[in-house]
Amino acid sequence: MDKVYNFVVDKQGTRLDRYVVERCPQLSRTQAQRLIVGGNVKVNDRVAKAGLKLNTGDRVNIIIPCTPPSPLAPEAIPLNIVYEDNDLLVIDKPAGLAIHPAPGHPSHTLVNAILSYVPDLPDSNGSLRPGIVHRLDKDTSGVMVVAKNSQAQLNLIDQFKARSVVKAYLVLVKGHLTPEDGAIEALIGRSLRNRKRMAVVAEGREARTQYHVVKYIGNYTLLEVRPETGRTHQIRVHLSAIGYPVVGDTMYGVKSAYLSRQFLHACRLGFTLPSSGEYVEFKSELPPDLEQALKDIG
């Protein structure tokens, strides 16, 4: 059964999301913000925004919907943990592991593995993506960060939104890409021909990808790529759009006899620790299948 709370504000100037957490301490700030966005919090009988500054005498109505049991189940899947503190985990994700449950893979995901390791992840009862602040495609390997509490989750999400997080990938493309350093700027949105694919489209969202040539191998180029924005499939779409498709990518790139998945590896991730503000950077070496592909091609 839904829980309903009614309050009259007695202190001027408090943000609505903070007021909700103060009055309902069982909620994290993320949960409070989701309630507000979902229209479950009203001020003077009107839906309001999370950042609204409250006035003395305002009437705040909060509805906390009854939460159905979470479909997520902990699974003892091995994790390669690069770093851990009280706020977060940095994980070296293998290729073939989806981040969170979705149609086609309802279980055996990174979220299931993390729930086994950290049972009280933020929003673990109300979200299919507890602790997740960014994602890697199922067939992309490499380093990523997961929040262990709500405060860290909000902090990391803000860093990604501010584009202050350093993300670097090693990518193999077909052809000799020149110049050796450059940037791709093209709007990305849903393909007009196939809604399951992304594409460079006139009505898309801003997207920018920097690249640096690491070396040329035969008729291929090994790149270090840094996406400045975080659009779905951004690297794969941008490189395909300029005529240098990702090797092994069956959706946007070119099939390869050397690989059973796309040559895309998150090799470097840098951000500031939520607890101290210290900048840290983590690296991941190429996994054996990608190393072997380079040897075979070379």
Residue 95's CATH number: 3.30.2350.10
Q: CA 139 to CA 264: how far, in whole Å?
A: 8
152 and 40 inside one domain? no
Please confirm, yes or no, whether 289 is among the known catalytic residues.
no
Residue 100, pLDDT score: 84
59 and 73 inside one domain? no
> Is the preceding peptide bond at 288 cis, omega within 30 degrees of 0?
no
Query: In which band, very low, low, confident or very high, does the pLDDT at 98 lie, cut at 50, 70 and 90?
Result: very high
The residue among 132, 161, 190 that closes a domain is 161
50 and 39 inside one domain? yes
Q: Detail the DSSP E strand segments found in 17-104.
A: 41-43, 46-47, 59-64, 81-84, 88-93
Residue 102, pLDDT score: 75
The residue among 35, 64, 93 that closes a domain is 64
Q: Give tens-digit pLDDT for 212-268.
A: 999 999 999 999 999 999 999 999 999 999 999 999 999 999 999 999 999 999 999
Q: CA 209 to CA 228: how far, in whole Å?
A: 6
Contact 184, 279 (CB under 8 A): no
Q: Give tens-digit pLDDT for 79-88.
A: 999 999 999 9
145 and 220 inside one domain? no
Q: Which amino acid is located at 212 in the chain?
A: H
Q: Give tens-digit pLDDT for 109-134.
A: 999 999 999 987 766 545 667 889 99
Residue 114, pLDDT score: 92
Q: Which of 72-81, 172-181, 241-250 has the lowest mean pLDDT?
A: 72-81
36 and 139 inside one domain? no
Residue 201 has pLDDT above 80, yes or no: yes
Q: CA 97 to CA 107: how far, in whole Å?
A: 10
184-191 long-range Cβ contacts below 8 angstroms, 24+ apart: 184/208, 184/209, 184/211, 184/238, 184/239, 184/241, 184/242, 185/209, 186/238, 186/241, 188/231, 188/232, 188/233, 188/234, 188/237, 188/238
Query: In which band, very low, low, confident or very high, does the pLDDT at 72 lie, cut at 50, 70 and 90?
Result: confident
157 and 181 inside one domain? no
Q: Which of 20-29, 50-59, 257-266, 289-298 has the lowest mean pLDDT?
A: 20-29
Contact 9, 19 (CB under 8 A): yes
172: β partners: 222
Number of structural domains (the chain) is 3
Q: CA 163 to CA 229: how far, in whole Å?
A: 7
Residue 221, pLDDT score: 98
Per-residue pLDDT, averaged over 178-201, amounts to 94
18 and 109 inside one domain? no
34 and 13 inside one domain? yes
- Of the residues 137, 139, 181, 289, which is catalytic? 137
Per-residue pLDDT, averaged over 8-17, amounts to 93
Query: In which band, very low, low, confident or very high, does the pLDDT at 68 lie, cut at 50, 70 and 90?
Result: low
Query: Which residues constitute the domain of residue 138?
Result: 69-161
Residue 106 has pLDDT above 70, yes or no: yes
Percentage of residues of the chain with pLDDT beyond 90 = 80
Residue 126, pLDDT score: 52
Q: What is the mean pLDDT of the chain?
A: 92
Strand pairing category for 208-217 and 141-147: unpaired
Dmax over CA atoms of the chain, in Å, equals 73
Which element (helix H / strand E) includes 265? strand 264-272
Best CA proximity match to 64, nearest among 7, 17, 2, 127: 2
46 and 147 inside one domain? no
190 and 108 inside one domain? no
7 and 110 inside one domain? no
Residue 128, pLDDT score: 62
The residue among 115, 144, 161 that closes a domain is 161
Best CA proximity match to 143, nearest among 191, 102, 82: 82
Residue 193 has pLDDT above 60, yes or no: yes
Percentage of residues of the chain with pLDDT beyond 70 = 95
97 and 210 inside one domain? no
Residue 143 has pLDDT above 90, yes or no: yes
Query: In which band, very low, low, confident or very high, does the pLDDT at 63 lie, cut at 50, 70 and 90?
Result: very high
Per-residue pLDDT, averaged over 28-40, amounts to 87
Q: Give tens-digit pLDDT for 267-298.
A: 999 999 999 999 999 999 999 999 999 999 98
